[in-house]
Structure 1
Amino acid sequence: MRKPIKSVIFLLIFCLTLSEFSALKASALWNPPTTPTVNAVYLINTDVNTVIYQKNQNEKVYPASITKLMTAILVCEKFKDKLDTKVTVEQEDLAELTPYDSKVPLKAGEELTIEQLLNCILIKSGDDAANTLARVTSGSVEDFVEQMNKKAKEIGLKNTHYVNPHGLHDPDHYTTAVDVYILAKYAMTIPKLKSIVATQTYKLPPTNIVKEERILRNTNYLIMENMTKSYYKYVKGIKTGSTTPAGKCLVSYAEKDGKTYYCVAMGGEMKDGVNTAFSETKALYKWVFRNFDIKPVVKTTDTAAQVSVELAANKTKLLLKPETQLNALVPNSFKTSDLKIDVHVPSKVTAPIKKGDVIGSEDVMLITADGKLQKLGTVKLVASENVDRSMSLYILSIITKFFNSIWFKIVAVLLVILLIVYIILSVHFNKRKRMLNRRRMKKYKYKRY
């Protein structure tokens, strides 16, 4: 029971992280000096969940071998503590593949561990290894694909559908740049996968059939030091993909000076011998690291607003301060005058008030160079001090409220009505009493005579 519970808790935490990201940013308003030529791009800072640049981010694209990230996720979650489990490659794992497909290559009857096969799919991008892992994880490739689509929904991939575990082209096998980012970010929460995708070369030991060691080289040239044109030392992974319909694809992440960015580039091409998914990703990373920084745009020491205070002893105004500091990714040229802040507070508050009580909020927006507004976040505004209540003013307010209340008015009206009824009845009763008295007097007078 413990493993399923841990999995559920982990998934909830991941979804909450995503929900924070979704709520904070819906669009990006910065443009790099050179517009990328790849079909779709999604560049995001994950420290403060800010989208820096995007292009066709929600359009359907083909993931090619980036699909293997989902395959690796399901395998790791199934064999989490048993990655040293040995499995056998079967002929059915190799049957559908052509000589032009990406392979280790593996041979039918080979025995390898789950961890070795994970290295085969994430470093060498072996389709044969992906088929083997799918079969041993779910019993069949068909059942594994069903689990892939189920997992896609669980982690928030809204526009993704899989039909195989390796990414060979199929019109019904698709995704979007945003979904690729979500997939990659989820994959990087699994330590084993994070370690594998950062590996430049992997030595696959001899097996029961292949007697020599095989060297697997990472297909992601941005982490390969010997690929000088593409190499960028701050990139840590993750996965490439390439088919004719998909084009050249890459999802990666980079870390520098305490900041982390993910970049998705889909639908690139070979141009002058260079993979544009590689070159344009590298250019985007250089641009953001050079021109943007995370800075405090709202501090807890700032005075954000003031409100009127009622029933307070010797105080009529209360200063409000931000509850937390707001850090945001902004251009290096940022100035506080570039901010537009919308404050949402009541016109008045009533004592007693404790220091730190939430009174309102403020929306913080950045005015970009073209005059548009980029929302940086929302901060709660809290009372800057304690405010005691004046007992005399409090009692007076209770009395005033009572006399102004609807219930007092109803009671007053009822009393007036009762008084009027009483007067009418009294007049009527007195009149009748006088009439009766006159009759008695007449009767008495007649009796005497």
Structure 2
Amino acid sequence: MKRFAALLLAFLLLCPAAQAAEPVTSASSAILVDAESGRVLYEKDAHTRRGIASTTKLMTALVAAESVTDLSAKVEILREDTLTEGSSMYLKVGENVTVEALFYGLLLQSGNDAALALARYCAGNVEPFVARMNEKTQALGMADTRFANPNGLDDENHYSTAADMAVLAAACMDNELVAKIVSTKSATIGTRTFVNHNKLLSLYPECVGMKTGYTRSSGRTLVSAARRDGQLLLCVTLNDPNDWEDHAALFEYGFETYPRCLLASAGKTVGLVKTSGSLVPAVPVQTSEEVWYPLTESEQVQAELKLPDGLQTPVADDVPVGALVFTLDGAIIGETSLVCAAGVHSDQAPEAGPLERLWSLFPWAG
């Protein structure tokens, strides 16, 4: 495979961005992440293990969402579900509540009783459900996280990091049910009305969720997400007395300094590959998908084509023949496969388009 810098693609990488001053947060730990790429845009002591309080319920919701099949199913509330302190959706022993109501009570009302009821419903008891939560941390690669309960009450064996919680936030936003609920400001399910504790949904218009938390030991914890122009950012602060303002400032910093930039469009011809065994001397190759990445104004991305020296015909349409790889400071930040464009089986060579004509200016690339 040939490897060379695709200088002619530089025009694809224009992405103006204003360099904003990095925010100063009040949090003990904080992180801001671009969800699509996973790029960390800001961090402060993001890998120190700390208490996470009720942001725990994001994992409770995610594990439960992967377990339930019927949101209308009824759950009879037992006495053990109500034996918890802190925030509550005020479940009563003997009442029958839908699974859906428990989800809203968990994520909007932050009900510790809802967490216990959901855990018992999904796994038969709280302990095996917590085991599932810890199994999920391993599956997600959350190496610095451990859960001791489904509601986030203080326990020395219950902790996470800002970086790990950002991983969990991304998984929650990929789950249709959880993402829908955490973005809801208020909802009425049955006879109960739930109001979301996450004030950022009102304070920051582009906020699309997620979850608040507080205990005296952990302090104020907040996991949030915001979307602008197709870009989704995830923010986590732990032990932050000024979390609403900090999250808004971090989101503004991220969107202004690291906007989502289009590195490659789908279906764009980027070169020609020589053929043998045909009257057609070469076939055009094109990108198969879009590539996006958050970039500052000053960052320079390099694009590299990986193509074979030649192809033996016949060559079917849309057959992958190479890749277009993007790097930043030597690290790969994205790529798209290159496929043969339509019409490569013609008896005549395709008419050269503007990119092919530009390509001809670089004979060393052929």
* Kept after mapping to 1: 8 A contact 2:263/2:292: yes
Q: Which residue of 2 aligns with 1:267?
A: 239
State the secondary structure of the residue aligned to 1:132: helix
- Structure 1 counterpart of 2:178, which letter? L
Work out whether 1:280 is the aligned partner of 2:258.
Answer: no
Work out whether 1:296 is the aligned partner of 2:258.
Answer: no
The number of residues matched between the two structures is 325
What is the CA–CA distance in structure 2 between the aligned matches of 1:352 and 1:79, rounded to whole Å? 51
State the secondary structure of the residue aligned to 1:60: coil
Work out whether 1:118 is the aligned partner of 2:103.
Answer: yes
State the secondary structure of the residue aligned to 2:223: strand
Q: Deviations over 1:88-117 (max 9, x none)?
A: 241x334353xxx22334444444333222
User: Paired residue for 1:376, among 316, 330, 333?
Assistant: 333
User: Paired residue for 1:339, among 291, 296, 301?
Assistant: 301
Q: Which residue of 2 aligns with 1:244?
A: 216
- Structure 2 counterpart of 1:87, which letter? E
State the secondary structure of the residue aligned to 1:261: strand
State the secondary structure of the residue aligned to 2:137: helix
Deviation at 1:284, TM superposition (A): 1.7
Greater Rg, structure 1 or structure 2?
1
* Kept after mapping to 2: 8 A contact 1:202/1:217: yes
* Kept after mapping to 1: 8 A contact 2:53/2:153: yes
Deviation at 1:325, TM superposition (A): 5.1
Deviation at 1:353, TM superposition (A): 7.1
1:351 and 1:42, CA in 2 relative to 1: closer, same or farther beyond 3 A?
Answer: same
* Alignment map for 1:285-324 (pairs within 5 Å): 285-298=251-264, 301=268, 303=270, 321-324=285-288
User: Paired residue for 2:121, among 133, 136, 139?
Assistant: 136
1:133 and 1:361, CA in 2 relative to 1: closer, same or farther beyond 3 A?
Answer: closer
1:217 and 1:291, CA in 2 relative to 1: closer, same or farther beyond 3 A?
Answer: same
What is the CA–CA distance in structure 1 between the aligned matches of 2:96 and 2:313, rounded to whole Å? 73
User: Paired residue for 1:195, among 172, 180, 201?
Assistant: 180
User: Paired residue for 2:81, among 59, 79, 93?
Assistant: 93
1:319 and 1:204, CA in 2 relative to 1: closer, same or farther beyond 3 A?
Answer: closer
What is the CA–CA distance in structure 2 between the aligned matches of 1:82 and 1:52, rounded to whole Å? 37
Q: Which residue of 1 aligns with 2:6?
A: none
User: Paired residue for 1:221, among 180, 195, 199?
Assistant: 199
Deviation at 1:235, TM superposition (A): 0.8
* Alignment map for 1:66-77 (pairs within 5 Å): 66-77=55-66
What is the CA–CA distance in structure 2 between the aligned matches of 1:352 and 1:113, rounded to whole Å? 61
Point out where structure 1 has 5 or more consecutive residues left out of the alignment. Answer: 1-29, 207-213, 226-230, 271-275, 367-371, 389-449
1:201 and 1:174, CA in 2 relative to 1: closer, same or farther beyond 3 A?
Answer: same
- Please identify which structure carries the higher helix content: 1
Pairwise CA RMSD: 3.6
- Structure 2 counterpart of 1:220, which letter? N
User: Under a length normalisation based on structure 1, what TM-score does the superposition of the two structures give?
Assistant: 0.61
What is the CA–CA distance in structure 1 between the aligned matches of 2:99 and 2:187, rounded to whole Å? 14
User: Paired residue for 1:45, among 8, 24, 34?
Assistant: 34
What is the CA–CA distance in structure 1 between the aligned matches of 2:289 and 2:156, rounded to whole Å? 47
Name which structure has the greater RCO, CA cutoff 8 Å, separation 6+.
2
State the secondary structure of the residue aligned to 2:25: coil
What is the CA–CA distance in structure 2 between the aligned matches of 1:301 and 1:190, rounded to whole Å? 32
Q: Deviations over 1:11-43 (max 9, x none)?
A: xxxxxxxxxxxxxxxxxxx98522434233333
Deviation at 1:280, TM superposition (A): 1.5
What is the CA–CA distance in structure 2 between the aligned matches of 1:248 and 1:107, rounded to whole Å? 28
What is the CA–CA distance in structure 2 between the aligned matches of 1:216 and 1:323, rounded to whole Å? 47
What is the CA–CA distance in structure 2 between the aligned matches of 1:303 and 1:191, rounded to whole Å? 36
Q: Deviations over 1:265-319 (max 9, x none)?
A: 2231x2xxxxx22221111222233344333323554646x7888888796xx68
User: Paired residue for 1:256, among 225, 228, 232?
Assistant: 228
Point out where structure 2 has 5 or more consecutive residues left out of the alignment. Answer: 1-18, 348-366
State the secondary structure of the residue aligned to 1:199: coil
Deviation at 1:239, TM superposition (A): 0.8
What is the CA–CA distance in structure 2 between the aligned matches of 1:373 and 1:37, rounded to whole Å? 34
- Structure 1 counterpart of 2:303, which letter? I
* Alignment map for 1:152-163 (pairs within 5 Å): 152-163=137-148
Deviation at 1:167, TM superposition (A): 0.6
Q: Which residue of 2 aligns with 1:436?
A: none
Name the % identity.
27
Mean CA deviation greater in 140-149 or 178-187: 178-187
State the secondary structure of the residue aligned to 2:259: strand
- Structure 1 counterpart of 2:182, which letter? V
